Amino acid sequence: MSLDYENDGALHEKIIEDVLSAYPDKFAKRRRKHLSVAKGVDDADAPAEGEEKLLTECDVKSNIKSIPGVMTIRGCAYAGSKGVVWGPVKDMVHISHGPVGCGQYSWSQRRNYYIGTTGIDTFVTMQFTSDFQEKDIVFGGDKKLEKVITEIDALFPLNHGVSIQSECPIGLIGDDIEAVARKKKKEIGKTIVPVRCEGFRGVSQSLGHHIANDAIRDWVFAAQEGEIEFETTPYDVNVIGDYNIGGDAWASRILLEEMGLRIVGNWSGDATLAEIERAPKAKLNLIHCYRSMNYICRYMEEKYSIQWMEYNFFGPSQIAASLRSIAKFFGPEIEEKAEAVIAKYQPLVDAVVAKYRPRLEGKSVMLYVGGLRPRHVITAYEDLGMQIAGTGYEFAHNDDYQRTGHYVKDGTLIYDDVTGYELEKFIEKIRPDLVGSGIKEKYPVQKMGIPFRQMHSWDYSGPYHGYDGFAIFARDMDLAINNPVWGLFDPPWKKKPQSEGFLEAAE
């Protein structure tokens, strides 16, 4: 479904100028490059056959260092590796190697759902740490790490492997975690993966994803001895970059299975090590979160000749388009089944849209998230008649902003690595009907009287992927926007004329 609207680009340009005026000159110059307004492209530049149509150009600088002292929302490489890529692998123990904090703050916060007996054969919602003390910094932590791995194997013998997620000090004190990994692998005979994801590396979570991908290549694929026995079929695929937040990967898998495909590996939500090891046996890599896992897909293409394809399972328009393009890869039989799946869910889609669109029609949304979501969820909102006024990424690269041009309309405000200050001002001036961002942004925005949904964790709801997820997504956006609390902000004895506009939303 393509919703036809434009944003007020001139207004957005002015808002950018206003916001930049608060910075010291040197930093206003630097931040300016991260802020822009999407510009419509001429119809004359029609896409070549088979290419997606570009709606706009989102020209901003990205993937460079955050400015000190501005309240960036970004995380670190450790968050990208332990928090995103490795953490969800359920039958391995992931050691937060270093001081206690990193593992503590990230413990159980990403809602990577899984099936398993926690603490016995599954370890996702646990916090394993080497809890560095001063002596470990002074004398090095390798001996301690060895002992940690020995103790893990004694107390959690059903683990299928261990990953070592480096925190900042590891790289600074010159520990040799690779040597420890090799030694312990020999001793206990299990996969041990050292990951150099110290938080100071790179400029955001993003380098952590890349390092984590490389660790799969170097310490899982390259370390495999002998051929893995596994009976393949022509319909084997991997789902890459679905972390099963609130069960997303399950709501996706059910559709792919229904159209006749087999998912050999789901990376990495609800995954086991075996699902990673056998992935090179599949015929196609389906990649959802391009940002965090494109690296290993490119490697598998080169090494195992597995093609990869991006898809989008947010909202019925994108789901149908994705199911069709995935099916096309496998030929008429699967295409027919894909059509049957689309047809089967159409009544659900119609009913969801009939129920929620009238309640959400015309409402404006601002997004600020990570990974794929600042673009991928846009059409799901539009399927409900909602409009995107602004969007931005915590840790995107240039190729993400290029892809964003396929989604956003002319005049949309684009912000890269937005600062707390900028985001607050943008929201204050645009006053959207809904903001989708993270926990750090949630409460400031709500206090401004603007409905909010956390779009990292699905605000403890979900799944949002697939048709089952779309119904939940629609319900959640409705309950956020149309809750009566937004109409209670002003005491009757205080008149606040400028706030009337947004309080009407909650009738």
Q: Which residues are catalytic?
A: 76, 79, 110, 209
Q: How many residues bind another protein (CB under 8 A)?
A: 128
Please identify, using beta-carbon distances, which residue of 60 and 445 lies nearer to another protein: 445
Q: How far is the CB of 203 from another protein (least distance, A)?
A: 6
Q: How far is the CB of 325 from another protein (least distance, A)?
A: 23
Please identify, using beta-carbon distances, which residue of 18 and 490 lies nearer to another protein: 490
* Of the candidates 126, 195, 115, the residue with the CA atom closest to the CA atom of residue 163: 195
**Does residue 121 touch another protein according to CB under 8 A?**
yes
Please identify, using beta-carbon distances, which residue of 103 and 390 lies nearer to another protein: 103
| Edge-to-edge strands, sheet with 236-242 | 262-268, 236-242, 284-287, 307-310
Stretch that binds another protein, among 17-25, 41-49, 175-183, 327-335 (CB under 8 A): 17-25
Stretch that binds another protein, among 10-18, 107-115, 299-307, 329-337 (CB under 8 A): 107-115
Under DSSP, the state recorded for 497 is G
In the beta sheet, which residues pair with residue 419? Answer: 72
Alpha carbons 251 and 242: distance in angstroms, whole number? 11
45-74: which residues touch another protein (CB under 8 A)? 65-74
Please identify, using beta-carbon distances, which residue of 14 and 440 lies nearer to another protein: 440
Alpha carbons 382 and 41: distance in angstroms, whole number? 20
Interaction mask 453-472, another protein, x per CB under 8 A:
--------xxx---xx--xx
169-228: which residues touch another protein (CB under 8 A)? 169, 171-173, 199-203, 205
Q: How far is the CB of 273 from another protein (least distance, A)?
A: 8
Q: Which of 44, 48, 115, 222 binds another protein (CB under 8 A)?
A: 115
DSSP string, 391-438: EEESS--HHHHHHHTTTPPTT-EEEES-BHHHHHHHHHHH--SEEEE-
Under DSSP, the state recorded for 453 is E
Alpha carbons 266 and 466: distance in angstroms, whole number? 15
Give yes or no for a contact between 82 and 112, defined as CB atoms under 8 angstroms apart.
no
Please identify, using beta-carbon distances, which residue of 43 and 134 lies nearer to another protein: 134
Q: Which of 62, 130, 165, 404 binds another protein (CB under 8 A)?
A: 130
**Does residue 363 touch another protein according to CB under 8 A?**
no
Element (H, E) at 49: none
C-alpha 290, offset from chain centre: 9
280-339: which residues touch another protein (CB under 8 A)? none
Alpha carbons 347 and 352: distance in angstroms, whole number? 9
372-401: which residues touch another protein (CB under 8 A)? none
**Does residue 39 touch another protein according to CB under 8 A?**
no
Please identify, using beta-carbon distances, which residue of 7 and 122 lies nearer to another protein: 122
Q: Which of 352, 360, 372, 413 binds another protein (CB under 8 A)?
A: 352
Stretch that binds another protein, among 39-47, 244-252, 374-382, 398-406 (CB under 8 A): 244-252
Structure tokens at 156: 């959690």
Under DSSP, the state recorded for 85 is I
Q: Which of 7, 12, 15, 75 binds another protein (CB under 8 A)?
A: 75
For residues 506, 410, 424, 489, the Cα torsion angle rounded to the nearest 10 degrees is -10
Q: How far is the CB of 44 from another protein (least distance, A)?
A: 42
Q: Taken in order 233, 235, 238, 242, is the CA torsion positive or negative?
A: negative
402-421: which residues touch another protein (CB under 8 A)? 419-421
In the beta sheet, which residues pair with residue 236? Answer: 262
Give yes or no for a contact between 282 and 75, defined as CB atoms under 8 angstroms apart.
no
